[in-house]
Structure 1
Amino acid sequence: MKDEPKVLDQERYSGIAALSICEALMLALNDHNILPEKEFVGILQDAANAHDNAAGLDNAKEMHEQVALMIKGIIAGGNAVRRP
C-alpha cells in the first residue's frame, strides 16, 4: 500500500495534531475568559513536572526528558497561551 503513511509518520503526525488541538483549546478558553493565562502556564508546568518525575520510572527516560524540555520551551518561548 504505497499511499498509506508509515507507522512512525502516523505517530509523529498524531502528536503534532494533539498539540495543535490542545493549543487551540487553551487559546479559546483564554479568549472567552474561562481560564486565565496564569492557569494555563500552571497546567503546562504540571505537565512538565509529571514527565520530569516519570523519567526514572520506566524505560522511556529519554522520551520523558525530551517531552519535559519541550513543554518548558513552550512556557519560556511564549507559544500558545503567552502571546507576544
Structure 2
Amino acid sequence: MSDYSTTSGVAALSICEALLLALNDAKVLPENEILGVLKDAATAHANAEGSEKEIMEHNAVAALINRIITGGNSVRRP
C-alpha cells in the first residue's frame, strides 16, 4: 500500500471515529447502534470476494475493526 493510501486510510478512520463519537454524544445513535455499524462493516469485509490479495486486505480490515470493537475503543465510555 502506498504512503498516500495509508495516510488516507488513517485519516478516514479518524474522521469516522469522530463522527461516531459525535453521534453518540448528541444522542443521535446509542452505543449499541454504533457497535452494530462497526460489526456490520467488519462482516462486510470478512465476506468480501476478489483476488487473493484483495481478500487478504479485506480480512485485515475486518480484523482491525474487530480489534476496535473489542479493544475498549473510545466509543465505549467507562
Specify the alignment match of 2:21 in structure 1: 27
* Ranges in structure 2 where 5+ consecutive residues have no aligned partner: none
Alignment-mate amino acid for residue 50 of structure 2 = D
TM-score normalised by L of structure 2: 0.91
Specify the alignment match of 2:74 in structure 1: 80
Alignment-mate amino acid for residue 20 of structure 1 = S
After superposition, the CA RMSD in angstroms is 1.2
Q: Secondary structure at the match of 1:81?
A: coil
Residue 64 (structure 1) shift: 0.8
1:58 aligns with 2:50: yes
Distance 1:83 1:14 in 2: 27
* Ranges in structure 1 where 5+ consecutive residues have no aligned partner: 1-6
In the alignment of these two chains, the number of paired residues is 76
Larger Rg: 1
Q: Secondary structure at the match of 2:47?
A: helix
Residue 80 (structure 1) shift: 3.0
Instruction: Kindly indicate whether the alpha-carbon contact (under 8 Å) linking 1:44 and 1:75 is maintained by their aligned counterparts in 2.
Output: yes
